[in-house]
Structure 1
Amino acid sequence: MPLFWRIFLLNAVVLIGATALLLGPVTVSTPVLLTEAAVLTGGLAAMLIANGLLLRIGLAPLQRLTRAMTTTDLLRPGTRPAVGGHGEVAELITTFNTMLDRLETERAASAGRALSAQEAERHRIAQELHDEIGQTLTAVLLELKRVADHVPPAIREELHQVQETTRASLDEIRRIARRLRPGVLEELGLTSALKALANEFTGSALTVRHHIGADLPLLSRDTELVLYRVAQESLTNAARHAGARRVELTVRRTPAGVELRVSDDGRGIDGAPEGAGISGMRERALLVGADLSLDAARDGGTEVRLTVLTSHRSH
């Protein structure tokens, strides 16, 4: 029975009963006697309680649905509100759950296309940096060396400084190209790529220690790329924004799949809004059915945890 008719019929029953009592044995004197006032007050209280109970029972599923609507985040898939109530209420909750399933599927597909295009663009830019700018700077270095061999010593020293600046620029371009397109991931696999990534971020201001299990299961190319990109973004955040001095990068096999954990000793998240980098990590995690969480680390910093289920591997 629809919610409207349930409420209407209960109110009708209560009012009809009250009317019958007033027309029958219960009468009201003028002035109202104390006992009559007590009876009327009790009847009114009974009507209010009955209406309150019905509304509480009938609208409870709608309140749960409202809470689910206000807390739903497509980047953080969670449990669906339980289908409760009867008739229109149950149908509404079922429709809402179906809508969430469709939206999450469409968002995952859209994010997959966007990230694939992003990786292709990164590959193109890295290739151009390496082939065009890198070769140009290499030619400049060779020309500077040739000129430096035929100039007076005073000018030669200045040319050597220009050579060092050009060589540093060439190294920086190569480093950027490696971050845009992790060739070591394609050539040597995930373990070597993560070790190279940790070594790349290790410097005077930051120390990255890596612990990578030797028994990692066979993963798809998409899953390895997601693990690498999440580790890369986590290290970038620790180095640039968290003010961290030490980072622990751990990859281990679990009974269900693989877990990546990046923990730093920086200033922590402190309820700060998530930026584009973290949103990008969540979108990548959804592509391979992984679970991403950001929590406070034991040292007061931030711990990023990515759990990949091998049963949900992408192909």
Structure 2
Amino acid sequence: MSLFWRIFLLNAAMLVVAAVLLLGPVTVSTPVRPGEALAVGAGLGLMLAVSAFILRIGLAPLGRLSRAMATADLLRPGGRPAATGPAEMAELIGTYHTMLDRLEHDRASSTARVLSAQEDERQRIAQELHDEVGQTLTAVLLQLKRVADRTPGELREEVTLAQEATRGSLDEIRRIARRLRPGVLDELGLVSALRALAAEFPDHDVRVRTRVTGFPAPGDDDPGAPPSLGHETELVVYRVAQEALTNVARHAHASHVTLELRRVSDRVELRVIDDGRGIGSAAEGAGVRGMRERALLIGAELVVGPRQGATGTEVLLRVHDEAEGITS
């Protein structure tokens, strides 16, 4: 029954009962007798109580919908109110669900296009850094070597310093190119790419430990090995690990970091755990929201929170086998 008819029939029933009582056993005299005033007051109080009770029940779905709309986050799907209550309420909640589905689909589609364009741009920049800047610095190194061979002894040290600076710049360019587009991910797979990522951690005072469970070693063609991750899923896992390690280097002030990749039953889990100062009550930054967007692209679950039982932060990415991107 619709909310209109519920309220209308309730008020009509109470008015009919009040009229019958006034025409029957309950009468009002002039002046009003105490018993008559008590009966009318009790009847009025009962009518108000019943009306408030019915309205509270009827409008409860609207309150749930209001709270759900206030806390809705397209990066954290789920927690939708049930489409219950009067017909108008159920229709309104159903319309909200449809709108939310459309918004999540549109956001996922636009995010996928943006991230795909971002990866293409990273690949282009990495290629230009490697081919253009890298080759230019290599040529400069060769020229400096020829100059050093013909330079008098008192100037050779300065040329050597220039060589070392150029060589350091070349190494940095190559490192940036690998971070922009990790060739090891395409050539050797996710496990090797994560190990290389941990080895290149920018803060040398932080010890990074890598643990891999349930994945075959590179080059292992065991037919009984578990299903492998698809390219898109591997790229998402790699980028989440990369962003998590970047956040540790920038904000955590940690001394130990654990990068763990494991297969558990029907899912794959990536964990990045540090012993730093933790996230506290700080709002999520662009890096964490970027990780959430990537996780949603493959239907994965991302949890970022305090480390269990100790100080620090834990980033958990959970990818189920039925998620997009996992192939046999």
Q: Give the TM-score, by structure 1 length.
A: 0.96
**Partner amino acid for 1:289?**
G
Contact between 2:214 and 2:264, CA under 8 Å: does it hold in 1?
no
d(CA) in 2 for partners of 1:154, 1:22: 119
d(CA) in 2 for partners of 1:227, 1:85: 42
* 1:228 matches 2:235: no
Q: Can you list the C-alpha shifts for 1:86-112, whole angstroms capped at 9, x where unaligned?
A: 311111111111221121111111111
1:84 match: 84
1:93 match: 93
- When structure 1 is superposed on structure 2, of 173-182 and 202-211 the one drifting more is 202-211
1:161 is paired with a residue whose SS is helix
What does 1:1-315 correspond to in 2, within 5 Å?
1-201=1-201, 203-215=203-215, 217-298=227-308, 299-314=310-325
Per the TM alignment, residue 217 of structure 1 is displaced from its structure 2 partner at its CA by: 3.3
d(CA) in 2 for partners of 1:40, 1:169: 92
Q: Can you list the C-alpha shifts for 1:54-97, whole angstroms capped at 9, x where unaligned?
A: 11111111111111111111001113211111311111111111
Contact between 2:126 and 2:180, CA under 8 Å: does it hold in 1?
yes
Q: Can you list the C-alpha shifts for 1:18-48, whole angstroms capped at 9, x where unaligned?
A: 1332233322223322211210111011111
Unaligned runs of 5+ in 1: none
1:241 is paired with a residue whose SS is helix
d(CA) in 1 for partners of 2:274, 2:227: 26
d(CA) in 2 for partners of 1:153, 1:12: 109
Per the TM alignment, residue 204 of structure 1 is displaced from its structure 2 partner at its CA by: 2.7
**Cα RMSD, aligned residues only:** 1.4
1:29 is paired with a residue whose SS is coil
- When structure 1 is superposed on structure 2, of 79-88 and 37-46 the one drifting more is 79-88
Per the TM alignment, residue 202 of structure 1 is displaced from its structure 2 partner at its CA by: 6.5
**Partner amino acid for 2:316?**
R
Per the TM alignment, residue 148 of structure 1 is displaced from its structure 2 partner at its CA by: 1.2
In percent, how many aligned pairs have the same letter? 63
- When structure 1 is superposed on structure 2, of 102-111 and 222-231 the one drifting more is 102-111
1:311 is paired with a residue whose SS is coil
Count of aligned pairs: 315
Per the TM alignment, residue 149 of structure 1 is displaced from its structure 2 partner at its CA by: 1.1
**Partner amino acid for 2:324?**
R
2:218 match: none
1:201 is paired with a residue whose SS is coil
Contact between 1:217 and 1:257, CA under 8 Å: does it hold in 2?
no
**Partner amino acid for 2:252?**
A
**Partner amino acid for 2:322?**
S
After TM superposition, the runs of 4+ consecutive aligned structure 1 residues lying more than 4 A away are none
Contact between 2:126 and 2:178, CA under 8 Å: does it hold in 1?
yes
2:315 is paired with a residue whose SS is strand
